């Protein structure tokens, strides 16, 4: 019959719970007393650490004072005093060492709290006795030595920092002795000297207070840590019976030597039924546990499923091999815990991690997983899958107008409509913000995908009634098919995003499918962006100048600066291509700074009556530093501010109109002109004309051309001119190409003319020639 060995470091299973509980109660009751004992021990060790310094300082200072007193005091008296000082400090040193030697014992009793205080008073009194008594009979030099020695002894109170009361008593005794020395010598204490002594003592006490409090706090922390360490032993014993885990031990043959009652309860069997049997077999024949035990290496977090009478449970085991003194393997000892609830919590957290909180739909990470699974199935089964990217049209104004709570309500309603329309065809997910995605596992039928897209566009476009408010939005869709359009998740997502971009560009509310042309356009756009960055560095841009003519006498008044880019291989790149790209990539800031600098440079060379107008992007106006840039260029070329005009379009009043208006006001305060370009063709900006910002309105060329055969257009131009007069603004007509156009605009009251009739955009050199010698030909 097999006899199990006694478990290492474990007592009998039946009696131990009672004993452990009794020890735990005793530990809780005595924790405060134990912490105080550790604090006292720490104080004793600190005092012993400083005892040599303290005693040495006292004896050294006494010898110095004795030397000073030798001329006026008898040697017997000095010798007796030195002997007394040496004796009491030797006694103090021995006592400090004795207390330190006993401080490691938990049974060491703490003496009365006043003993250190009395000891400090006695030591200070013995040391100060002779200097105080003989102070009045000494020479001035000896008195200085005594005072300095006493001051050094006051500083020596740092050795008593672990017991604040003793340090204070030491300083107070020496201070009182010093005051008494002066009083005995003169029959009174001079107020100035007394104040000086008290001041020195106060500084010492203040510094000592900070030091002793810090030392005392540190000792309390150490005492607390030691008390906690004392409790660890009891906590380990309680772990088996009060904690969530249990202990186990097997011998070299993996047979159970000890197992906690918590585990026997979990298995529904008694300890006697388990001891002596294989642990892997006891836990359901788990092969992973058997292989781990055979490796005879430490292991942790070995999780396994366990069938019990209470149903399926999950446990986690950790163990270390037991090696005896001779190096022989004796088995394993370890801990285990029931992690069933932990695993359930992890599953819930996993679900939350894959779910969008607002809509309850799969989030971006889960959509990627679903698309990966669909793509793998498509590649294996030769049935294409699809990914739809959806972006809500007009959702940002909903948040701005109605607030985020209503915006969230709209998003929830959109989610419900998408799920309803997708049905069993696809999985709907939210990518974030107002972006959604639908993963379609079976996209073999293009018609089915088309129908789904059409239904979604119609469903999303239906009005939303939120708190008595009717809200309308739309949706644009981009779609890509896998593995036709992409062999990986990232590739498909990129292709669907390109298709969505195309849908937005086509006017929104549409569905676009990825095509190779989109990829080519995207790649060409990327190359153009790279070329644009290089062009700024390599200075491939130039400014051309189109004349501005006085309508009254056809004299030259200035130029409008127009940027041109001549690419080494692309040739002339149209401004409408690279300006838009520069705005989207943020390069417009660098480009705009260059244009401002170059226009100011050109104007500085020309006569003072020639002004230069240049265009500003709405993206530039969001930069508060723009006025500084203009001011620096004006200063750099010593240019009058009124020779520069900055033209903006009505689009600046979209978005952050207040911020843009503030920048325009700051620019106007510099003295530069501000012109509203293409007036009447864009967004209504009449409300901004009375802000004292604009000095000029520019009529778009489309009005000039239509005025030849459209009376309504003529009326519009007349209204613009009259409006400008009301605000004391100048009016410029653009796009004047014929003499009839010129005559008509002049007769309508337009002040300045710009167009091919008087000159196309020209280089700086030709513009300079025009200024200096071609005015007559231009007028003819």
CB 572 within 8 A of CB 564: yes
3-class SS at 374?
Answer: helix
Higher per-residue pLDDT: 113 or 80 = 80
Question: What is the average per-residue pLDDT within 12-31?
Answer: 44
Confidence at residue 179, expressed as pLDDT on a 0 to 100 scale: 78
pLDDT band at 643 (very low <50, low <70, confident <90, very high): very high
Confidence of residue 194 (pLDDT cuts 50, 70, 90): low
Q: What is the mean pLDDT of residues 330-353?
A: 84
* % of the chain exceeding 70 in pLDDT: 83
- Rounded to whole angstroms, the Cα distance separating 620 from 615 reads 10
Mean pLDDT check: name the lowest of 312-316, 349-353, 409-413, 533-537. Answer: 349-353
Confidence at 440, pLDDT banded by 50, 70, 90: very high
Query: Is the pLDDT score of 11 beyond 50?
Result: no
Q: Are 177 and 201 in contact (CB under 8 A)?
A: no
CA gap 151, 195 in Å, rounded: 15
Q: Report the alpha-carbon distance of residue 266 to residue 421 in Å, rounded.
A: 49
**Quick one: pLDDT at residue 657?**
64
- In the predicted structure, residue 381 carries a pLDDT above the cut 70: yes
The total of other beta-carbon atoms located within 10 Å of residue 540's CB is: 16
- Chain centre to alpha carbon of residue 770: 58
- Mean pLDDT within 96-119: 68
What's residue 133's pLDDT? 85
Angle, in degrees to the nearest 10, between helices 16-29 and 191-242:
170
Q: What is the mean pLDDT of residues 746-767?
A: 93
Nearest CA to 253 among 201, 329, 143, 190?
A: 329
pLDDT of residue 14: 41
Contact 42, 162 (CB under 8 A): yes
Which comes out higher in pLDDT, residue 49 or 278? 278
Asked whether the predicted pLDDT for residue 538 surpasses 60, the reply is: yes
pLDDT at residue 377, as a whole number: 92
**Higher-scoring residue by pLDDT: 240, 458:** 458
pLDDT of 215: 66
Identify whether the C-beta of residue 538 lies closer than 8 Å to the C-beta of residue 484: no
Q: Mean pLDDT, to the nearest integer, of 581-591?
A: 88
Cis before 483? omega within 30: yes
Which pLDDT value is given to residue 190? 54
Apex 604 CA angle, 603 and 606, nearest 5:
65
Question: What is the mean predicted confidence (pLDDT) over 715-734?
Answer: 90
Q: Is the pLDDT of residue 639 over 50?
A: yes
pLDDT at site 42: 65
According to DSSP, the residues that pair with 248 across neighbouring strands are 259, 334
Identify the residue with better confidence: 72 or 596.
Answer: 596
For tokens 């990829």, what's the residue?
A: 519
Higher per-residue pLDDT: 572 or 191:
572
Q: Does pLDDT of 12 surpass 50? A: no
At 21, the pLDDT band (50, 70, 90 cuts) reads very low
Q: Is the pLDDT of residue 776 over 70?
A: no
- Residue 515 has, within 13 A of its CA and on its CB side, a CA count of 7
Q: Say if residue 334's pLDDT is above 50.
A: yes
171/465: higher pLDDT? 465
Q: Note the pLDDT of residue 642.
A: 94
- Which of the given ranges, 177-181, 203-207, 578-582, 611-615, has the highest pLDDT on average? 611-615
Element at 207 (helix H, strand E): helix 191-242
| Number of helices followed by number of strands (H, E) in the chain | 27, 21
What percent of the chain is modeled with pLDDT above 90?
Answer: 33
Per-residue model confidence (pLDDT) at position 738: 93
DSSP 52-119: HHHHHHHHHHHHHHHHHHTTTS-HHHHHHHHHHHHHHHHHHHHHHHHHHHHTT-TTPPP--TTHHHHH
- The pLDDT of residue 107 is 47
Residue 5 has what pLDDT?
39
The pair of three-digit structure tokens given for residue 177, joined into one six-digit string: 């002795």
Question: How confident is the model at residue 186, as a pLDDT?
Answer: 59
pLDDT at 757 over 80: yes
pLDDT category at 189 given cuts 50, 70, 90 is very low
The rounded distance, in Å, linking the Cα atoms of 368 and 365 is: 5
Tell me the per-residue pLDDT of 87-101, one tens digit each, with 9 for 90 and over. 888 888 888 787 777
pLDDT of residue 1: 36
Mean pLDDT of the chain: 82
Supply the pLDDT for residue 16: 41
pLDDT at 22: 44
* Confidence bin at 185 (pLDDT 50/70/90): low
Least reliable range by pLDDT among 37-51, 228-242, 347-361, 523-537:
228-242
Kindly state the average pLDDT of the residues 429-442. 94
């Amino acid at each position: 019959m097999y006899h199990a060995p006694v478990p290492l470091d474990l007592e009998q299973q039946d009696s131990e719970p009672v004993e452990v509980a009794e020890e735990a109660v005793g530990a809780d009751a005595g924790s405060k007393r134990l912490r105080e004992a550790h604090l006292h021990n720490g104080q004793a060790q600190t005092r012993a650490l400083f005892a040599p310094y303290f005693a040495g300082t006292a004896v050294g200072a006494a010898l110095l004072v004795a030397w000073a007193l030798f001329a006026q005091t008898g040697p017997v008296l000095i010798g007796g005093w030195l002997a007394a000082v040496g004796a009491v400090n030797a006694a103090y040193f021995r006592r400090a060492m004795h207390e330190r030697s006993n401080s490691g014992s938990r049974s060491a009793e703490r003496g009365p709290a006043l003993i250190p205080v009395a000891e400090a008073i006695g030591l200070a009194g013995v040391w100060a006795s002779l200097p105080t008594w003989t102070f009045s009979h000494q020479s001035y030099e000896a008195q200085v030595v005594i005072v300095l020695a006493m001051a050094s002894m006051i500083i020596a109170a740092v050795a008593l920092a672990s017991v604040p009361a003793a340090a204070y008593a030491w300083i107070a005794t020496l201070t009182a002795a010093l005051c008494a020395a002066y009083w005995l010598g003169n029959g009174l204490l001079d107020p100035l000297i007394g104040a000086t002594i008290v001041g020195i003592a106060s500084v010492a006490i203040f510094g000592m207070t900070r030091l002793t409090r810090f030392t005392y706090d540190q000792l309390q922390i150490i005492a607390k840590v030691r008390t906690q360490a004392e409790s660890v032993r009891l906590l380990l014993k309680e772990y088996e019976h009060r904690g969530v885990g249990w202990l186990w031990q097997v011998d070299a043959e993996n047979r159970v030597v000890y197992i906690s009652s918590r585990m026997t309860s979990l298995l529904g069997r008694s300890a006697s039924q388990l001891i002596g049997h294989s642990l892997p077999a006891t836990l359901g024949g788990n092969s992973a546990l058997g292989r781990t035990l055979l490796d005879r290496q430490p292991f942790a977090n070995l999780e396994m499923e366990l069938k019990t009478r209470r149903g399926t449970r999950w446990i986690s085991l950790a163990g270390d091999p037991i090696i005896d003194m001779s190096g022989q393997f004796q088995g394993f000892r370890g801990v285990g815990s029931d992690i069933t609830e932990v695993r359930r919590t992890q599953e819930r957290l996993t679900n939350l991690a894959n779910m969008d909180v607002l809509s309850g739909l799969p989030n971006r990470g889960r959509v990627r997983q679903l698309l990966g699974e669909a793509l793998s199935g498509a590649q294996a089964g030769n049935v294409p899958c699809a990914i739809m990217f959806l972006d809500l049209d007009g959702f940002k104004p909903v948040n701005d107008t109605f607030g985020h709570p209503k915006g969230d309500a709209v998003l929830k309603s959109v989610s419900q409509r998408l799920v309803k329309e997708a049905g069993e065809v696809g999985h709907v997910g939210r990518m974030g913000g107002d972006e959604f995605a639908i993963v379609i596992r079976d996209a073999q039928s293009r018609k089915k995908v088309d129908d789904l897209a059409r239904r979604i566009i119609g469903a999303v476009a239906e009005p939303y009634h939120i708190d008595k408010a009717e809200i309308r939005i739309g949706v644009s869709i981009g779609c890509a098919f896998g593995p036709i359009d992409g062999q990986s998740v990232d590739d498909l997502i990129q292709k669907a995003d390109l298709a969505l971009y195309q849908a937005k560009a086509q006017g929104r509310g549409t569905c676009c499918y990825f095509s190779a042309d989109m990829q080519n356009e995207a790649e060409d756009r990327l190359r153009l962006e790279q070329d644009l960055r290089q062009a700024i560095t390599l200075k491939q841009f130039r400014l051309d100048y189109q004349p501005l003519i006085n309508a009254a006498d056809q004299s030259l008044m200035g130029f409008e600066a127009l940027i041109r880019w001549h690419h080494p291989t692309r040739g002339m790149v149209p401004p409408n291509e690279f300006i838009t790209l520069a705005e989207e990539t943020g390069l417009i800031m660098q480009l705009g700074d260059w244009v401002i600098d170059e226009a100011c440079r050109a104007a500085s060379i020309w006569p003072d009556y020639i002004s230069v107008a240049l265009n500003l992007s709405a993206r530039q106006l969001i930069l508060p530093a723009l006025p500084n840039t203009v001011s620096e260029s004006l200063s750099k070329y010593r240019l009058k501010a009124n020779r520069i005009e900055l033209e903006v379009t009505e689009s600046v009043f979209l978005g952050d109109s207040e911020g843009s208006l503030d920048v325009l006001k700051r620019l106007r305060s510099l003295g530069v002109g501000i012109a509203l370009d293409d007036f009447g063709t864009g967004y209504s900006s009449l409300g901004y004309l009375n802000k004292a910002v604009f000095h000029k309105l520019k009529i778009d060329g489309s009005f000039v051309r239509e005025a030849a055969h459209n009376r309504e257009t003529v009326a519009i131009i007349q209204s613009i001119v009259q409006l400008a007069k009301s605000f004391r603004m100048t009016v410029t007509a653009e796009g004047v190409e014929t003499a009839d156009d010129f005559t008509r605009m002049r007769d309508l009251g337009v002040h300045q003319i710009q167009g091919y009739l008087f000159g196309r955009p020209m280089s700086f050199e030709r513009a300079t020639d025009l200024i200096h010698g071609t005015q007559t030909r231009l007028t003819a």
